[in-house]
């Protein structure tokens, strides 16, 4: 957190993944300590039209370990804090860092291809009827829609979709739709507890599908 105005109840967050500083309001902050400059936080980033990035679900970073004699950093003037940092950030990024950022994308696409192959193999072996593909497509379209509706609710500050419902849809086979929604809508990509549970549902659904397809071979 690089700037906090207690009188106006808003501030700005600086992140290595975003070129400009990210706005947040007090109503989007929750935690065991009040906002303050220099406070490390986790958050969910959204973009509202041309207004620039905004942070939701802002929380102090848990389990932070500070050095006993850490020297506080000098605070810059407010006008300097808000300057875009895109040019230096782009120059400092190496090819290795770019490949590291792209790795999760390829892993996700690879898992989706493997998951689709399991369905096709299962259909070819008679484990599923062809009509099951229609249900799979509908579940994933519905999951994508629920993510879109939740992000729209976050932007317009209306009733949100419970995270348990999003995880339930992923668990029953809608996780590829959830993955595409996260990548395209940039929604639910910064909240690490949510991401952890999401990947657990991916593993559970894929393992269940793999077991069902291969069960006759093991049973025989």
Query: Which pLDDT score is estimated for 38?
Result: 86
Share of the chain above pLDDT 90, in %: 40
**pLDDT band, very low/low/confident/very high, at 22 (cuts 50, 70, 90):** confident
Query: Which pLDDT score is estimated for 27?
Result: 81
Residue 171 exposure: Cα atoms within 13 Å on the Cβ side = 10
Instruction: State if pTM tops 0.75.
Output: no
3-state per-residue secondary structure call for 2-53? CEEECCCCEEEECCCCCCCCEEEEHHHECCCCCCCCCCCEEEEEEECCCCCE
Q: Is the dihedral of CA 14, 17, 20, 25 positive or negative?
A: negative
**CATH number at 3-92:** 2.40.50.140
CB-neighbour burial class of residue 29 (10 A; exposed 0-12, middle 13-18, buried 19+): buried
Please state, in angstroms and rounded to a whole number, the distance separating the CA atoms of residues 176 and 140: 7
- Greatest mean pLDDT among 7-16, 36-45, 139-148, 153-162 lies in 139-148
pLDDT digits (tens, 9 = 90+) for 121-169: 999 999 999 999 999 999 999 999 999 999 999 888 899 999 999 999 9
Hey, where are the domains in the chain? 3-92, 95-219
């Amino acid at each position: 957190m690089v700037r906090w105005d207690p009188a106006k109840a808003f501030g700005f967050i600086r992140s290595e993944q975003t070129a400009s500083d990210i706005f947040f309001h007090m109503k989007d902050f929750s935690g065991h300590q009040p906002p303050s400059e220099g406070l490390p936080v986790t958050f969910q980033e959204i973009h509202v039209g041309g207004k620039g990035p905004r942070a939701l679900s802002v929380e102090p970073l848990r389990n932070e370990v500070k050095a006993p004699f850490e020297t506080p950093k000098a605070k810059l003037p407010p006008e300097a804090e808000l300057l875009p940092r895109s040019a230096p950030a782009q120059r400092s990024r190496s090819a290795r860092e770019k490949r590291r950022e792209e790795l999760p994308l390829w892993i996700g696409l690879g898992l989706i291809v493997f998951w689709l192959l399991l369905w096709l193999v299962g259909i070819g072996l008679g484990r599923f009827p062809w009509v099951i593909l229609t249900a799979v497509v509908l579940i994933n379209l519905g999951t994508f829609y629920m993510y879109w509706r939740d992000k729209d609710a976050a932007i317009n500050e209306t009733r949100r979709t419970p995270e348990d419902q999003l995880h339930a849809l992923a668990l029953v086979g809608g996780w590829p739709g959830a993955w595409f929604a996260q990548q395209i809508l940039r929604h639910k990509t910064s909240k690490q507890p949510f991401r952890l549970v999401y990947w657990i549902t991916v593993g559970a659904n894929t393992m269940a599908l793999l077991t069902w397809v291969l069960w006759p071979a093991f049973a025989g």
